[in-house]
Amino acid sequence: MKRQLSLPKEKIRIVLLEGIHEAAASAFEAAGYSNVELHPKALPEAELREVLRTAHVLGLRSRTRLSADLLSKARKLFTIGCFCIGTDQVDLDAAGQQGIAVFHAPHSNTRSVAELVLGLTIMLCRGIFPKSQAAHEGDWHKSAKGSREIRGKTLGIVGYGHIGSQVSVLAEALGMRVLFHDIEPKLPMGNALSLPSLSDLLASSDVVSFHVPDTVLTHGMVVIQELGRMREGAFLINTSRGSVVDLEALASLLKEGRLGGAAVDVFPREPMAMGDRFESPLQDIPTAILTPHIGGSTQEAQENIANEVVHRLVSFSDEGSTVGAVNFPELNLQAHGDCSRILHIHENRPGILRQVTRVFGEKEINILGEQLQTRNGLGYVVLDTEHVERTAVLPALESIEGTIRTRILY
Ligand code: NAI
């Protein structure tokens, strides 16, 4: 399949689905893309097919599923923005094989999660939720018993990445002592102390908060043995992934009063849609705070996501840069002044680069710069050359066997 997509910006049709934050449309317009269409919801399949026939850029969130079959109809589409963290809703291989680069915003909600963790830490240490529940039921639990300040307490952070390190800064600002454990060497923020052993961290913390990804190492990372290493009356917070903590074991230690409380935002089985029934072994335990995976769900995060994803889509459309693409070879490209820039996306097989450069050699077009990267069977080469007309090179480039897509950007 070979196509040319070298269009003026105002002709690039951008369709944003699922009520993506309005900052996205403004950011596109600020970058010179005026043909932006907004839809408040996901589209029914027939309408989505129709959109895919003509859109060049598609923005979606988690409810729009793009299968290989749907993508095969997207003849003009050259990039997809997932305005969320996950990208499972898109068949990434199929998109890559059509030369469609897919982007997302993995860290735009870091601050939202970190703030919630601090809030939960205070709520747990003060026993606010059971007291609030009692007040709703007409009971007046005015007591300082078991209610503690967080100042001077020890917070143990497991996973010291984007979120864990933000939590560290905020917790220290509130006077907490911070320990952390990570499998990678990490530079401590402030006075935080790195502990090589998870067991030591669990045994030394008043509150333990998890900020690890879902990997073979973290899946089932916290079972009864680990929970048993925690201090008597300590608190556990998990806003990371539902697979990390064994909730049956956590429920039994909370019921026994061995742990003081827990706040859990992520679950092994989460309802697919609003209104679907949610079940967890932590239900009906007064010391457990349960939230419906909203750690990163704030208006600010939505706006950050909009700006971050649009930045990536525009960098790809304007310059061919694929930094942060989840299914594409990564090239970090800046605008080059006085030249033409040509993109060639191809199946990763021997000899293609030689044939690409031969096209320019035969036409005596001077190549000023050339970058190649490959990934998952895809090859991506970007050439900066002396000024050329698209008709001078694109037909020859497209005739190279294994070519998926070519574009001339300027
Ligand atoms: P990140 O990738 O920046 O940091 C993860 C850290 O965990 C890295 O430093 C990594 O080295 C470390 N790590 C990996 N395996 C480990 C192990 N076995 N033991 C100790 N450390 C380990 O990720 P980020 O952005 O900080 O996100 C953390 C988690 O939060 C992710 O699971 C993410 O899915 C989740 N998340 C949840 C949200 C919510 O709404 N509840 C929103 C955003 C993220």
Q: Is the CB of 96 under 6 A from ligand 1?
A: no
> Ligand 1: which atom is nearest the Cα of residue 221?
18
> Ligand 1: which atom is nearest the Cα of residue 160?
9
> Ligand 1: which atom is nearest the Cα of residue 184?
11
Q: Is the CB of 295 under 6 A from ligand 1?
A: yes
Domain ranges of the chain: 10-109+298-327, 110-290, 329-410
Say how far apart CA 311 and CA 28 lie, in whole Å. Answer: 8
Half-sphere exposure of 82 (CA within 13 A, CB side): 27
Catalytic residues: 241, 270, 293
Please report the pLDDT score of residue 338 as a whole number. 85
With the most atoms of ligand 1 within 8 angstroms of its CB, the residue from 163, 165, 300 to mutate is: 163
Judge whether 77 and 71 are in contact, CB under 8 Å. Answer: yes
Q: For the chain, which residues score pLDDT lower than 70?
A: 1-6
- Taking CA atoms only, the protein residue closest to ligand 1 atom 39 is 295
| 110-122: burial string, b at 16+ Cβ within 10 Å, e else | bbbbbbbbbebbe
In angstroms, how far apart are the furthest CA atoms of the chain? 87
Which CATH number applies to 10-109+298-327: 3.30.2010.10, 1.10.1060.10, 3.40.50.720, 1.20.1600.10? 3.40.50.720
Q: Which residues make Cβ contacts (< 8 Å) with residue 346, sequence separation at least 6?
A: 352, 378, 379, 380, 381, 400, 402, 403, 404
Which CATH number does 110-290 carry? 3.40.50.720
Say how far apart CA 331 and CA 286 lie, in whole Å. Answer: 51
Distance of CA 118 to the CA centre of its chain: 22
Q: Which residues make Cβ contacts (< 8 Å) with residue 312, sequence separation at least 6?
A: 81, 103, 321, 323, 324, 325
- Taking CA atoms only, the protein residue closest to ligand 1 atom 42 is 296
With the most atoms of ligand 1 within 8 angstroms of its CB, the residue from 84, 108, 183 to mutate is: 183
Please report the pLDDT score of residue 6 as a whole number. 67
Q: Is the CB of 231 under 6 A from ligand 1?
A: no
Say how far apart CA 375 and CA 302 lie, in whole Å. Answer: 30
| Angle (nearest 5°) at CA 344 between 386 and 392 | 45
Q: Is the CB of 181 under 6 A from ligand 1?
A: yes
* Residue appearing with tokens 């889509």: 313
Judge whether 356 and 401 are in contact, CB under 8 Å. Answer: no
Please report the pLDDT score of residue 273 as a whole number. 77
> Ligand 1: which atom is nearest the Cα of residue 294?
40
Residue 38 tokens read as: 């907004």
* Residue appearing with tokens 């525009």: 314
Q: Is the CB of 241 under 6 A from ligand 1?
A: yes
Judge whether 82 and 309 are in contact, CB under 8 Å. Answer: yes
Q: Is the CB of 111 under 6 A from ligand 1?
A: no
Q: How far is the CA of 351 from the centre of ligand 1 (A)?
A: 40
Say how far apart CA 278 and CA 271 lie, in whole Å. Answer: 6
- Taking CA atoms only, the protein residue closest to ligand 1 atom 1 is 161
**One fold for 110-290 and 329-410:** no
How does pLDDT run across 152-192, given as a tens digit for each residue?
A: 999 999 999 999 999 999 999 999 999 999 999 999 999 99
Which CATH number does 329-410 carry? 3.30.70.260
- Taking CA atoms only, the protein residue closest to ligand 1 atom 30 is 240
Please report the pLDDT score of residue 335 as a whole number. 81
